[in-house]
Structure formats: C-alpha cells, structure tokens
Amino acid sequence: KSSFLSIYSRLKSDLLHDSAFDFTDDSLQWIDRMLDYNVPGGKLNRGISVVDSYKILKEGNQLSEDEFFLASALGWCIEWLQAYFLVLDDIMDNSHTRRGQPCWYRVPKVGLIAANDGILLRNHIPRILKQHFRQKPYYVDLLDLFNEVEFQTASGQMLDLITTHEGEKDLSKYKLPVYRRIVQYKTAYYSFYLPVACALLMNGENLDNFVDVKNILVEMGTYFQVQDDYLDCFGDPEVIGKIGTDIEDFKCSWLVVQALERANEDQIKTLTENYGKSDPTSVTKVKEVYKDLNLQAVFMEYESTSYAQLISSIEAQPSKAVQEVLKSFLHKIYKRQK
C-alpha cells in the first residue's frame, strides 16, 4: 500500500506540470489541495486490486518497476474516477461528511466550484493515460474501457436519482429488479469489473473474450453492495467507522426492498410512515420491522447462496489465473464485517 501511495505523488506532480494548460500559482495550489483532499483518502481497494490482479495474471512473476508503475497508474485512475463521482454525488445528495471529513463542496471557499473540480478529476484520467500509455497497443482499448464504465456509472447514478430521489417518497418503486439495476450500473462496473479489465488489458488480453468474467464481477459487486446495505443497519459502527443513515436518507437499500417483499399490511404501514425520517423513534420502528421479518437470517441465506453460485461460476472459467483473480476478489469481501 505504501508503494502504491508513492505513485500518487508522481502522478499528481505530472498533472501539475501538464503543458496543455498554462497554470497560474493559484491554480497549481488549488489543484494540489483539491487532489490531496479528494483522491488518496479512501480505502484504495479498487486501485490496489489492479496491481494485485495483474500480479496474479502474470502467474507469480515479480513485476518490474515499470510494470508496477503502470499497473498502479491504472489503479489510481480508478481512484480518480471514484473521487470524481463522490465529489459530485455529495453535492447532489446534499451530504455533510465523506471519509470522516466535510464533503469537499462544504469546505469554505469551495462551494459549487466543487462541481468543476469533479470535472477536473475526471479529466485527469485521460491525461494520465495519454502520458503513460499512448504508445501501448492497448491504449485505445483503455480509453474505450474507461469511457464505457464511466457511462455505465453515470447511467446508474441517473437511475438512482430519478427513482429514489425524494419528491414524493414513494416506497412502491423499491423492488428487487430496480435495486439490482441501480447497484449493477452505479457501483459494480467501476468497483469490480474495471480493475480486472485494466489488468487484463495490460496483460494483452482482448476484453471481448471475457464477458463471463465481467458478469461474475458485476454479480460480486452486487453482493458487495448488499453487504454494504446490511452493515449500514446491522454492522458495528465501531468496526465500520461510521454510523449508518440509510433509513433516515430514504435509501433504496437491500433491506427495505426485502422488508417490503415480506411485510404484512401493518408492517407496510409502519415502513411507509417511518422510512426516510430522521427522528430516532422512526428509525427504531423501521429496525424493529426488519428484525421481526428476520432480515438477518434472510441476509445470511443470501450470502451463502451468492457465495456458492459465484464459486461455481468462477470454477467454470478456463484459465486458472483468471480463477485466482476472481477468488481473491471474492475472499476479500466474503463475510466482511466492514
């Protein structure tokens, strides 16, 4: 992780010396601070998994310094992509904190300039790719890949915004197919498929031959989000590092979707009256319905079924190295507590 972090400084420095823009001192300072605030502070799982996956695909051979740098640069591009989406998402959701600090747009003197900063974060990705990959045979595939995944993420975000954004607070839209579609596009492609696809491209593969791998990873991403939703309510805040607010925020969470599928008329009434309210009494009532419906057991059941299905799809893969990549992803998240 520390060697991965050290690549960040190099990429940042390249961006601050980009000859396509004539920087003033103020703009250098602005970008420097904006990057440090938004890019490296996450868990870096997505970024590091490019390096890990590429190592496995190379079948145990140590990476050269250059290979490590390139795989890390692609990993950082994913972290940049995530930063871009989070900065804008926090504006749209009117959020207060992110990663234990105020959201960027709430920092004094930033405000809505944050929207353009999000755009800049996004624009840094092709700058990094051009500088380091322009001569690679897979350069155009990298551009296509990032473009497609960004499009899918933004489309998932749209779906989320237009189906779940308040206005009427209508629980009747919260159904499993809706939930799955949002999660698949908004989260799974960029968090799970993109890192592996980057590693495959670096390894000289044609992504058209990895449609099954994509589907497995998207499924894993969905499983990951279900866990996230479960832990938001039933996880230990001490372990997760934050207190969940999905109920207060009227989120289209897996839990509420499952509850609505199973609830009787009374319970539906309780949910309708209390979901999306921020007073503790309402939250407690919702959680009681979840417990009465035994959603903890429903989750355990989902978790083991998912796991078994994923393992069997993974073992149907022809390449042992690819199997190993997929299993390493799965084992990082299976039964996680945070």
Total residues at interface with its own copies (CB under 8 A) = 47
Strands 101-102 and 97-98: antiparallel
Tell whether residue 246 is a contact of its own copies (CB under 8 A).
no
Evaluate whether 79 touches 39 at the Cβ level (below 8 Å): yes
Tell whether residue 324 is a contact of Mg ion (CB under 5 A).
no
Q: Which of 31, 36, 244, 60 is nearest to 127 (CA)?
A: 31
User: Closest separation between CB of residue 23 and its own copies, Å?
Assistant: 8
Q: Which is nearer to its own copies, 152 or 267 (CB)?
A: 152
Q: Which is nearer to its own copies, 34 or 44 (CB)?
A: 34
Binding to its own copies, residues 67-126 (CB under 8 A): 88, 91-92, 94, 109, 112-113, 115-117, 119-120, 123, 126
Q: Which is nearer to Mg ion, 14 or 89 (CB)?
A: 89
User: Closest separation between CB of residue 92 and Mg ion, Å?
Assistant: 6
In the chain, beta strands by DSSP E: 97-98, 101-102
Instruction: Say which amino acid occupies 280.
Output: P
Angstrom distance (rounded) from CA 93 to CA 243: 17
Q: Which is nearer to its own copies, 141 or 229 (CB)?
A: 141
Q: Tokens 């999905």 correspond to what residue? A: 246
Using CA atoms, how far residue 287 sits from 54, 246, 283, in Å, is: 42, 11, 6
Among 49, 72, 82, 152, binds its own copies (CB under 8 A): 152
Partner that binds at residue 282, options its own copies, Mg ion, none, CB closer than 5 to 8 Å by kind? none
Using CA atoms, how far residue 327 sits from 33, 152, 182, 236, 262, in Å, is: 37, 25, 24, 26, 33
Tell whether residue 147 is a contact of its own copies (CB under 8 A).
yes
Tell whether residue 158 is a contact of its own copies (CB under 8 A).
yes
Among 154, 268, 311, 321, binds its own copies (CB under 8 A): 154
Tell whether residue 280 is a contact of its own copies (CB under 8 A).
no
Using CA atoms, how far residue 56 sits from 47, 97, 261, 286, in Å, is: 15, 36, 41, 44
Q: Which of 260, 299, 325 is nearest to 55 (CA)?
A: 325
Q: Which helix (H) or strand (E) holds 195?
A: helix 194-202
Total residues at interface with Mg ion (CB under 5 A) = 4
User: Closest separation between CB of residue 249 and its own copies, Å?
Assistant: 15
Using CA atoms, how far residue 4 sits from 44, 76, 152, in Å, is: 9, 9, 27
List of residues contacting its own copies (CB under 8 A): 18, 20-22, 24, 26-27, 30-31, 88, 91-92, 94, 109, 112-113, 115-117, 119-120, 123, 126-127, 130, 139-140, 143-144, 147-148, 150-152, 154-155, 157-159, 161-163, 165, 167, 178, 181, 185
List of residues contacting Mg ion (CB under 5 A): 89, 93, 228, 232
